[in-house]
Amino acid sequence: MILIVGAGIAGLALAIALGREGIECELVERERRWTTVGGGITLYPNGIRALRTLGLADAVCEGGAVVETIRSTDRLGRVLGEMPGQFWPGLGPTVAIHRPELQRLLVEAAGDLPIRMGTSVAALRVEPGGIDVDFDDGSSGRFEIVVGADGIRSDLRERFFSASSPRYVGQMYWRATVLERVVGCATMAFDDDRYVALIPVGGGRVYLGAQLHRETPLDPDGCDPREALEAHFGDYEGPVREAFGMLDEDLHFGPAREIERDEWRAGRVVLVGDAAHACSPTLAQGGSLAIEDAIVLAEVLSAAGAGRTPRARALDEALDAFVARREPRARWVRERTHHQIRLLNRGSAHAELEASLEATYAMLRREI
């Protein structure tokens, strides 16, 4: 039995992947109800490829919006140029989708898999025969492997791994959706040290993401998100100004942070998704990498005989293989994210953007 801690994208995708391999798992989530933050999410073709393995690619494409074109403008809305929405011939589309819709599809696909909401891990004890886990609802269980899919502030990472507090990467983000098609295609409005993305996500919604480069972070608790957005982007015009006027109350505001360590495994405790490799959303790879993690971990565990009384050594070798396959790919994204942040903060970045994205995604075209 595998325990998955955290029911975000990584945790749900892993539960589905394990179920398809016939491996029993239990999923616990500390939130009492299904919630999401951030408005929309973009899944590049490597993420769609991973979703195809889970049988979800078609549903996600139908529930979101295919990104055919990316338009670049300045802060006044003047068009600087356009480029294709993806650089992955033969792999599939780039799709932007409303986060609650993606969550709904994942939860639906999980079906009857055991998911306990409002439940956290209270204590773990590594024993010769497995990992004994006590939960905060008074229950307990023994598991072959415990997977931390509990996000950038992972409790399991703090308990079992070296100190690794999320590091600020010089970006403040505002994220929301608006219920109007203020743009006909994905649009990036650039200015020095800031940009705004407007991306249709299906269902008449457009995702709005505003990024401000700052050496020191703003305090999200010390200012009103709308007032801060207006203070730093109030001179934007065109569709961005129109979108600002349509914001609802669900405006997420905070610093972009990353996990800069490359330590994913401590014995039979292993990390996936943001718990292992969170980084800035600049390259829109967080969700795709999390789903890839799930596919690979389920694959290596199935090959090792997980759920069928495997040899202890086989499980250890499987977890080593998982880290060896996934860590270089995630590190590549983190390093290229730093490059992309510098490029986007130059203002009129369109001339270099297409070439940079093509180089960035070259590695990710490869099979996982």
Query: Does domain 2-166+258-365 sit in CATH 1.20.140.10?
Result: no
Q: What is the pTM of this model?
A: 0.94
Give yes or no for residue 144 having a pLDDT over 80.
yes
Q: How much is the pLDDT for 347?
A: 61
Give yes or no for residue 247 having a pLDDT over 90.
no
- Tell me the average pLDDT of the chain: 91
Of 91 and 18, the one with more pLDDT:
18
Mean pLDDT of 338-364: 75
Pick the closest to residue 48 from 117, 2, 96, 107 (CA basis): 96
**298-301 own/partner pairs: CB under 8 Å, 24+ apart:** 298/14, 298/17, 298/18, 298/20, 298/21, 298/23, 299/17, 299/21, 300/325, 301/2, 301/18, 301/21, 301/23, 301/145
State pLDDT tens for residues 30-55.
999 998 877 899 999 999 999 999 99
Band (352; pLDDT cuts 50, 70, 90): confident
State pLDDT tens for residues 284-322.
999 999 999 999 999 999 998 776 666 778 889 999 999
Q: How much is the pLDDT for 351?
A: 64
Per-domain residue ranges of the chain: 2-166+258-365
State pLDDT tens for residues 213-238.
999 999 988 889 999 999 999 999 99
Q: How much is the pLDDT for 308?
A: 66
Pick the closest to residue 243 from 174, 177, 173 (CA basis): 177
Quick one: tokens of 1? 């039995």
